[in-house]
Every structure is written in C-alpha cells, then in structure tokens.
Amino acid sequence: MSELFDYYRPSLKVRGIERRFPARRIFCVGWNYADHIKEMNRPDVPQPPVFMKPADALLPDGGEIPFPPRTKDLQHEVELVVALQGGGLNIAADEALGHVYGYGVGVDLTRRDLQSKARKAGDPWEISKSFDYSAPVSTLRRASSIRHPAKGRIWLAVNGVIRQEADLSDMIRKPMELIAQISAYFELKPGDLVFTGTPAGVGQLKPGDHVTAGIDRVGDVHIRMGRLRT
C-alpha cells in the first residue's frame, strides 16, 4: 500500500534551482518543420495533429531506456519542449509566452511501424507514441534566464553521427501559436509540457545506441537504448 500512496510523481530538473518542475500533462504536435513534412510525404496541414503522452513517460535528464517491445522501427524525433507556469483556455498567441516557465530538449520516441499501421486503420496513437519512457527530456532552463529562443541549432546524433540538424526558426508554428492552438481545446495548466515537433532526419534506433540531442542555449540530453525487456 505504501507504494500505492507514494507513487512516482513525474518532474524535471531545472538548471540553477533545487526544486524540480512538476510535470502535469505532455502535449505533442506533429508536422511543424517543412523538411520533415517532405521526408514523410505529408501535405502541409492547417491544423497540425495534437496528441498526448502520459507524464510518467518522461525520462528526466536522459539515462538508459529499456528498449520498447513490439516494434521493428523505433525512431527518434528531437524537439524543443516548452514548460508552462500558467495556463488557461483560449490563450491569445500574443499573450502565450507569458505562461512559459522554461524550455528543454526532448526526444519524442515513436514506434513508427505501429504509427503507420494505426494511421491506415484510423486507430489511436497511444501504442505508437505514448509508451513507457517515450519522452526523455533534458534539465529545463528558465525563460527568466534564457528568454524565449526563436532561433538556434536543434540537433540529434546517434553514436556520435548527426542525424537531425535544423534551426528553431524553421518551425512553421511558433511555440506561442501552438500554445494558443492547444488551449482552444484544453484548459492549459501550470506543469503542462508541449513538444513542438521535429525537423527532418528522423531515423531508427537499435538496442545499445547512444543518442545525444541538443538545442543552442537550451541544453542537451543523453540517452542510451538498453536491451529489450522480456
């Protein structure tokens, strides 16, 4: 019973302070970089898809991830993560950044084979997107110290070889627009996180791979893909 009542509360480290950022929900958007839309042969869409991962899919500050079962095509997607200190319903884009606490670097791990299957069947995305350890995120940096990064290199390397490399300024919809869009459907709250989409170069991961991802001024995160759990 003690385990039930003292369950794990997901949180993220914050650079420069002792207290951790209490994670509430994780919202993710798709199709936010033109080169990625092109590599996936997807048309540009007026409203990018929004999906969620459970907060306990976070792997705070990286570390080792047991390799997810039931996929032959686990893929990496490096993304800028926005952490909210405020919220509301129908937030105006020009007021959205006032609700931002800080930023981190996240990897939206994806069972691409199961996502393709779900897309064809019209099934939900949970087993392709919202599985255990599917959301490693770096230590956060506060907007009060780095402000709101609108440009800067975003990259991901596997075993030291660069796979994804782009600039935050390539984002089709800026964080302020994404916050406004999501808040039209959900009342955003302090602790909510937003994954803002990935640039081109998404690719496959294998057990044993070392993944490093970073964003200028925001930070970096290191992940090692462990063995398949049985």
Query: With CB under 5 A, what is the number of residues at the site for Mn ion?
Result: 3
Q: How many CA atoms does the CB half-sphere of 172 hold within 13 Å?
A: 17
**Nearest approach, Cβ of 192 to Mn ion (angstroms)?**
16
Q: Does 77 bind Mn ion (CB under 5 A)?
A: yes
The footprint of Mn ion on residues 107-126 (CB under 5 A) is 108
Amino acid at 16: G
List C-alpha distances in Å: 202 to 39, 47, 56, 112: 9, 21, 23, 10
Minimum gap (Å) between residue 29 Cβ and Mn ion: 7
Options 42-50, 57-65, 103-111, 153-161: segment touching Mn ion (CB under 5 A) = 103-111
Least distance to Mn ion, CB of residue 116, Å: 14
| The two three-digit tokens of residue 30, written as one number | 């798709």
**Which of 77, 192 has the CB closer to Mn ion?**
77
Nearer to Mn ion, 14 or 75 (CB): 75
Q: Which two tokens stand for residue 61?
A: 């500050």
**Which residue's CB is nearer to Mn ion, number 26 or number 96?**
26
Cβ contacts of 102 within 8 Å, gap of 6 or more: 14, 21, 83, 140, 141, 142, 143, 144, 146
Q: Which residue's C-beta sits nearest to Mn ion?
A: 108
- Residues 188 to 207: which contact Mn ion by CB under 5 A? 198
- Cβ proximity to Mn ion: between 99 and 129 the closer is 129
Identify which range of 61-69, 73-81, 85-93, 222-230 contacts Mn ion by CB under 5 A.
73-81
CA angle (108, 195, 203) in 5-degree steps: 30
Burial 48-66 (b: 16+ CB within 10 A, else e): bebbbbbbebbbbbbeebe
Nearest distance from C-beta of residue 83 to Mn ion, angstroms: 17
Residues in the site for Mn ion, rule: CB under 5 A?
77, 108, 198
